Structure 1
């Protein structure tokens, strides 16, 4: 029986895609694709509230992204997402709502969620969390009309705010988490800020994510691979000028114990039957001894389970650790090289030895593990030659996946202070342009955005699609098909993707599916916005895929 005194808390994550309702043609080369990953942050918040305040609060978690995956078929439809979000907010009885958005540029969806909350539940407190209020704390209240916003790490801050709003005294929580900071609030018509000065030092005090509150089983059942997210650390010991991870996690890095991480792996494997774990650490390998303990623990368990991580710092990798990663069943490696210029490496304070980066790449390459490389171009101090050096390195390495991003100077980073000091910005950056696909308007730089966008997108199209390295080995066709098919629903206008899937079907002997995808691509190319974004690649006549598609047409 539910305790009537409990306060009902709804935590909701808004759609992680552009809110294009009512918009006409868009530049498809810069449109954010739908990212329906499970909301790890909300799962942690729910677990924290259940662990330290289960007698005071009844928590409900709704993620519009995974809800859409479970309940909808076909391509992404913003109108359907909007109706889903309205239904969740209007139909859920709650006393306090927390609205989360991972990305700064999801302002439109956050504004819509706050509007719905105030419309259907007037007077109920609204708390914001995620990337948007972390980067723009005061502005997030001004632009949305919310009552509170959390800056950065949120577990202890959220519970502290809930207790403040509800008049709850929680001695156990207050003893363990006595210093709370990092939030903004309204009072008497004014916005007040409590800066973020503290973090949770002992990460083992945070319970495992409450996936049960999310009811993830339906979502996992619709995935090709039963994968859950996790983290083993928060923050990063380095301070690259462009990186804003310290805004969320504070300076430096904090680690969960290896034992705690392995206990969670045991739990997820036993409770949810997962087949893959994706660790979202900024720098999972920063502590070699701890990392090797985790790897040895995975080897000893020998589960039917693979794993991957969002980022490994190249400087922290060596032969010993890499050799342990292979028998521990690592499924994919992501390396953030960022720049192919040693001079730029120094200027952005990354200081990566590019020879070491290539050595590490070749070590992973020999094990035939899919490698994802991240690069950035468009630093304001970069020359055209230095930008080209990055593109040349990306092409020379030719990873299984390559991401070439446009530099964004996030407020709160050293890079942002640099561009202000050197007058490289002549306007405030628009919120919707806080995206690695879009130009932010640098001026007084030795390059131009038109050429930069061409370099970025052409390289992405070449290395990820029409010249992908997995096309050279028939044994790699199945994993390449799985990767490309996984993009289909979130990139319904990507004509080159459909061309490539068709070509790969042909190489695998499925001519009917080849023709189906070629016909889909031909139909897409008749649309003006599709042709504007992808039509020029039909002029790459020396490419076998393009030539085969044009012969079909």
Structure 2
């Protein structure tokens, strides 16, 4: 009996255009915990000795050097794999990866024509028939697959036909189309799982990545980051989420000691001091979470921090939990509020987030020197433009340090996906609904895709830049930190430069202000991205800095320079 070798594939989190350097969106570099848990499970339970990883997501940090997407796909795969894989296991998490997946699979199949291709993940769980219709996909796994994949490999090694709950081959297209497809058996006791296979990754690239899920606002810039997961499941019924199709709605928890041991190992082996829980719902059980956080605090890790890009709910947070989070090193609080409209909360997205509670939590956190980021989504099915403007106004007045505005993307398997489908705006033939949280390729009766994208981006510029809460309150040095962080990631960002100039002007450094304005003029002339931003949002810039700052706590949008006769060659003085 020969145990097959396995190669995992981690898909990128940005578009094909972005991989080639033609997009302003940068990759979200987050440890692929699903792949890492699977790798550990099959090594332990199926005796797999050789496991490789084609990590397209981390390789997008070197994007643009390959010349074409085909070269990128081939080169990264060829450089990553030491032996021809018996099983190619693709983690297909999100619908925005559809285009890349479609261009990747024929290339990998040509490289390794005899490999068995298994696709799993959140998107795969909800697109079984669509994936199996492809000639280059052999199997699809539904749900959590640590138990099922190990069983699948054992059967393959024994040479017997695979018969595993939650695993489907092409017979599913004809035999089960009208039935309910089972999911893989879930691990009820999460402590039974081995720790994630960290050795599968380039750990240094992940813990040090400038594009990781850590945020530097209020946090140590030299922090070394790692993702962890302390629970699985979420009992809520938000219409835009499909996570329940993989992890279920019933909560399962790791023990306190199991979590602590993982943290100790990460700190000892890689010097990790910033931990990012990737739970669907971290704060669902107050007594457990306060006890866990206090135990983490008791580890006394030097410069310990925790950040939560997700996993925190307004409806499960209170001051006691925030204080426990703060004791454990949380310096950045992220709240997914999603909508500033009570109507949308109750009747459209079913999140039922209390907006009054959100205001109180934000105020409490800010008053206790915690940096607060809030997430909002625009463009839900049936959401009017007025509803969206309510959200922008709510965010502007909320007092949070930073707000993210995204467009509603229909994740397959979510209730929202079905709602959009019932509206007749999605096409399964060309998968025109697959976009990112920054863009959308289909119109709705309420708003066109183009207008929605511009509304969301203008909301970002309005709330986070022009009406930045720190500039409004006179904390210009802190505002500068934010704008400089943006410019590290987006060097073309002329609005960030403009706000940087305003901060310098308010702080009495006229030379630095003029230098920033000069940089804006240069970028408009030399960088197409800056020029595009100027063409679409230049109305937010006042080219007379004296008028924009004198006796005003925040800048006032003015007119475009071409409308006022201001030349682009040099900054006004």
TM, length-normalised to structure 2 = 0.81
Partner of 1:487: 489
Correspondences of 1:56-455 after superposition (within 5 Å): 56-67=48-59, 69=61, 72=62, 79=69, 81-88=72-79, 92-143=83-134, 145-167=136-158, 181-186=165-170, 194-196=181-183, 198-220=185-207, 224-304=222-302, 305-309=304-308, 310-347=310-347, 348-421=349-422, 423=423, 425=425, 427-428=427-428, 430-431=431-432, 433-439=434-440, 441-445=442-446, 447-455=447-455
* Distance 1:78-1:160 versus aligned 2 partners, 3 A rule: farther
**What is the CA deviation profile of residues 174-202 of structure 1, one whole-angstrom value per residue up to 9, with x for unaligned ones?**
9xxxx953333135996868432642222
CA distance in 1, matches of 2:87, 2:94: 22
Indicate the RMSD between aligned Cα atoms, in angstroms. 3.8
Unaligned runs of 5+ in 1: none
Partner Cα separation in structure 2 for residue 41 and residue 497 of structure 1: 36
Q: Which runs of 5+ in 2 are unaligned?
A: 211-221, 543-547, 550-554, 562-566
Q: Give the match's secondary structure for 1:204.
A: helix
Determine the structure 2 residue equivalent to 1:34: 27
Find the counterpart in structure 2 of residue 552 from structure 1.
Answer: 571
Which residue of 2 is the match for residue 457 of structure 1? Answer: 457
TM-score with structure 1 length normalisation?
0.83
Other structure's SS at 1:99 match:
strand
Distance 1:73 1:417, change over 3 A: closer
User: What residue number does 2:215 align with?
Assistant: none
SS in 1 for 2:252: strand
> How far apart, CA to CA, are the structure 1 residues paired with 2:204 and 2:39?
17
Greater relative contact order: 1 or 2 (C-alpha under 8 angstroms, separation 6 or more)? 1
State whether residues 406 and 437 of structure 2, in contact with CA within 8 Å, keep that contact through their aligned partners in structure 1.
yes
Query: 2:492–2:523: 8 Å Cα contact kept in structure 1?
Result: no
The separation in 2 between residues aligned to 1:384 and 1:275, in whole angstroms, is 43
Report deviation, 1:77: 7.4
Task: Specify whether residues 195 and 396 from structure 1 end up closer, same or farther in structure 2 by C-alpha distance, changes over 3 A only.
Answer: same
Q: How far, CA to CA, are the matches of 1:268 and 1:483 in structure 2?
A: 27
- Residues 513 and 133 (structure 1), Cα distance of their counterparts in 2 relative to 1, 3 Å cut: farther
> Is the deviation greater in 401-410 or in 371-380?
401-410
Give 1:159 deviation, angstroms.
1.9
SS at the partner of 1:433? coil
Q: Do structure 1's residue 13 and structure 2's residue 10 form an aligned pair?
A: yes
Residues 365-424 of structure 1: per-residue CA shift (max 9 Å, x gap):
112222111112222333333222111101111422211222233333223334455x36
Deviation at 1:38, TM superposition (A): 2.6
Q: Look up the SS of the partner of 2:84 in the other structure.
A: coil
Deviation of the 1:427 alpha carbon? 4.3
1:527 and 1:188, CA in 2 relative to 1: closer, same or farther beyond 3 A? same
User: For the structure 1 residues 418 and 8, does the alpha-carbon distance in structure 2 shift closer, same or farther, using more than 3 Å as the test?
Assistant: closer
